[in-house]
Amino acid sequence: QVQLVESGGGLVQAGGSLRLSCAASGRTFSSYAMGWFRQAPGKEREFVAAISGSGGITYYANSVKGRFTISRDNGKNTVYLQMNSLKPDDTAVYYCAAKYGSTRANLEQSYDYWGQGTQVTVSS
């Protein structure tokens, strides 16, 4: 069983930056691809970014490409999402997720474990 805990959300003005963190409890953290998803009120949860177990491969939704960066520190069992140039439509609850292996990491159904979410609000 893997537990995931997100942190780092908050309120920021448009154009600002935030860094989200996700701490994992698993003993085989590097065997899991890690992903970030987000859900705005009244909308479906959507893929944001993912990273392979080794950290060598990353994937991004087109809506965040060039603005967000996903990274991981396997020594700390932690994955990060650096969010720059934030826009009001980035406002959502952001969820960290883990899946065994690194294939199909852009698909929500591929993930086995989910965190509780952290709120990101971007004001105009």
**Secondary structure class of 71 (helix, strand, coil):** strand
27-61 tens-digit pLDDT: 899 999 999 999 999 999 999 999 999 999 999 99
Residue 117, Ramachandran bin (φ over 0: left; ψ between -120 and 50: alpha; else beta): left
Running DSSP on this structure, what letter comes out for residue 29? G
Q: Could you give the CA distance from residue 117 to residue 5 in angstroms, rounded to a whole number?
A: 8
Q: Do 4 and 98 form a contact (C-beta atoms < 8 A)?
A: yes
Q: What's residue 104's pLDDT? A: 85
Model pLDDT for residues 100-119, shown as the tens digit of each residue:
987 888 888 899 999 999 99
